[in-house]
Structure 1
Amino acid sequence: MVESTSKNYFYKCEQLKSIRQDLTVYEVHARAALEAGDLAEYNQCQTQLKTLYSEGISGCCNEFTAYSLLYIIFQNGSNRDLLSSIARLTPEAREDEAVKHSLAVRGAVALGNYIMFFRLYKTAPNLNFYLMGKDLFSSKFRKAVLTRKPTLPLEVIARMLGFTNGAQADKDVLDECEEWVKAHGGQVVVDSASSERQFDAKASAATLFMPEPEDAVAHGDANLAVNDFLTRSAQA
């Protein structure tokens, strides 16, 4: 590429600056597209980024590798593409927290593990949660919960949502779970015979919804990120 040109050093410098700026533009654009839910636009940016990364241009490669894995899992659906992408991961990428998170999500989806999935969704780094197929996986969760019985012990729901790791839930855990369920459209009742709290699946069928991550902090508002980049570019 640039190495093959016979032009002078200063020309090469300008070319490299242009390439680095192209990379930054695509990274900013891709993040903005994710935050806006425009996966088609994101995928176009991701395609360009893969090319730039493969040419040795430094950037946020591991961050976008993690996004690429999640995109394949939830949008592409090709197990062959996924296995191929995993096989190409560098040792450095495998140690990256965002990439490890994406691989853990793959395991949760493959096993249908709602507890693991919602824990990973809640702790997703960067913008991973935008690609985690929440609507698809949440619909499976709704089906699993709402088609079982008219009511379920709140402790069962606490385990499914990851509020407890399998041990018997204490009062504080159940209180936290009840607060979460009610905040997302679910209804909790007290069984008259046992005095135990129950999740009312029948009454919650039309109102239950899954949340956005409460404490997610990634790259901030998409428009602010883009505007900040454009401002800095104009000043350069």
Structure 2
Amino acid sequence: MTTPWPAAGQPFIRNVHPAYTSVNARMTLDSPPQPPSTVTQTAASKIQWPQAVRDYVSRAFMATNTISGISNQEVSSKLKAVITTAAENNTMDTIDWYKCPLPQEIIRAERDKSHFNEDSVHSDNSVSSKKRKSSDTGITTGAPVPPWRQRAGLADRMDFVKEDDRKEKKQKKIQEIRSNAGISKSQDLEKRRNRFESSLAPSPYASNFRDDDDVLVATSGPVIGTNQSLEKAYFRLTAPPKPETVRPLEVLKKSIDLVITKWKSQHNYTYVCDQFKSIRQDLTVQHIKNEFTVRVYEAHARIALEKGDLDKAHGAVKHALEVRSALAKGNYHKFFKLYEDSPNMGGYLMDMFVDRERLAALAIITKAYKPDVKVSFLTSELAFPDDQQCAQFLCEQGGEAFLEDREDGPRFLSGKATAVFEAARQTAFAVVDIKGQI
């Protein structure tokens, strides 16, 4: 029988336990760490990206594709946005990632577009871009009186004037006219510069060859097309375009070759117009502006002219054909009307030869209108901004002796100026060969 106490002669061993529970002392005021959970958490499944996407990410961070001014942080943010958009639209496997623009290229395109919009907003739109003919009421009272309109007093006319004094006065008049002409030329250059600046107002799309929905889409960001169809019917956009409905540049190049081939074999003009409008729409929504874009518009214009459909041709092309017809027929009246109504920046092209055509018109007027005509009539017929500039042009061409001031306004003695302006016309139309000989 065992007893709860030790037997005699055996040492008593006591199990000593402290009367408290030891804990770790807190060194901070933060909440104590939570004990580790006994439940093991399963690791999140890793997303398997396609190899094309991995290669796209690698190319985005290659040193050879680095663009100055664009940081790696910006590239990472844009790369994340592109891949996230593709994943949400379920187009990860349909996008051609090897032809997809890199993130830094997309950032540069967005910056270029923002700079263009800022320049367009700050451009001066208040300056008129076209010359306008003046009214037939003559020179206003507030305008400076030209020297050839100033009349001598009665006492001066009654005095005897020597021949030398007459020549001296005539030379002074010519010098004054030329000095005024120089001032007017500098003013005209300033007006032309302002007109050129105002012409840069936002109108990057032609009115006749572009559609309203294309212009609206062009104000948003570019779309990266993934459609591989060579033929696609044209539909007016009522919502932002989707990448799967837009064809990329490489597909569009094959598409235009197919359309031109079918035009040569079938001559189906309705089909051709529909396909060209669809191609132009895909170019617009992707913001593609290069030599291929020019080729598309030129091909469409050629087919429209071949079909005789001038309404489909660009407005500038139609205007150029009318200008050429007016020059071939010698119809200066129609030519200067077209000059005043030239579309876009066509007036700058016509400025290169408008003075030559004015001399040709004056050579005809001096033979047809006798003995004289009003200067205001010449201002209207030759598309001058006002009578002052018309008179200065006549003086520059040697016609200062044929200007006469009358009660009903200044007149040009056209009957006496035939020889002068015929010689000026021949000089203006002289042909210079390669050696510089006339």
**Scaled by the length of structure 1, what TM-score is found?**
0.38
Per chain length, whose mean CA-contact separation is higher, i.e. which structure has more relative contact order (CA < 8 Å, sep 6+)? 1
Larger radius of gyration: 2
